Amino acid sequence: MLPNVRLATICDADVLSRLNHEFNGGVKRPVPEIIKCLNSNNEVVAVATLRDEVVGFGCAQSLKSFCYNEAYGEITEMYVKESARRNGVATALISFLESQLYSRGVKTVKILTGEDNRVAIKAYELSGYVKDDEVMLKKKL
């Protein structure tokens, strides 16, 4: 069975909260905050379903800087429940997010993931992504 991917709606807020908690741990995101983000954010949030169950999600953003001629995109989050992996869910989410970004004028998409996250890296490479020489630095304020 192939996954179905669609834009998330406020009806998905509860399952997004649960899946995000599985993915990122920490304090579970409150449903009202997720609904607020879904209603007011520039973020594209997609959910994937198998047999009518939401089994994964992906998030992306389009960004525009005066420094560049074209907008670029970034897939910022991607999670598929372990029980649903190896069913094409990640590939379907990536393709859907890319099409959403393309419709916003994006021609280049970046993805950041841990260098030891071999499963994710393999999924991204299967979708045509290649490693480059950029280095990510971060600082907590």
The two most distant CA atoms of the chain are separated, in Å, by 45
pTM (2 d.p.):
0.91
Residue type, 2: L
Divide the 141 residues of the chain into consecutive groups of 10 and give the mean pLDDT of each group: 94 97 92 92 93 96 90 94 93 97 94 90 94 87 93
Residue matched to tokens 């970046």 = 110
pLDDT at 115: 86
Report d(CA 66, CA 95) in Å as an integer: 27
pLDDT at 94: 97
Residue type, 100: Q
DSSP per position, the chain: ---EEEE--GGGHHHHHHHHHHHH-SSPPPHHHHHHHHHH-S-EEEEEEETTEEEEEEEEEEE--TTSSS-EEEEEEEEE-GGGTTSSHHHHHHHHHHHHHHHTT--EEEE---TT-HHHHHHHHHTT----S--------
Domains belonging to the chain, first-starting first, are 4-126 (3.40.630.30)
Q: Distances in Å between the alpha carbon of 13 and those of 24, 113, 125? A: 16, 24, 30
pLDDT at 38: 93
Do the beta carbons of residue 60 and residue 100 sit within 8 Å? yes
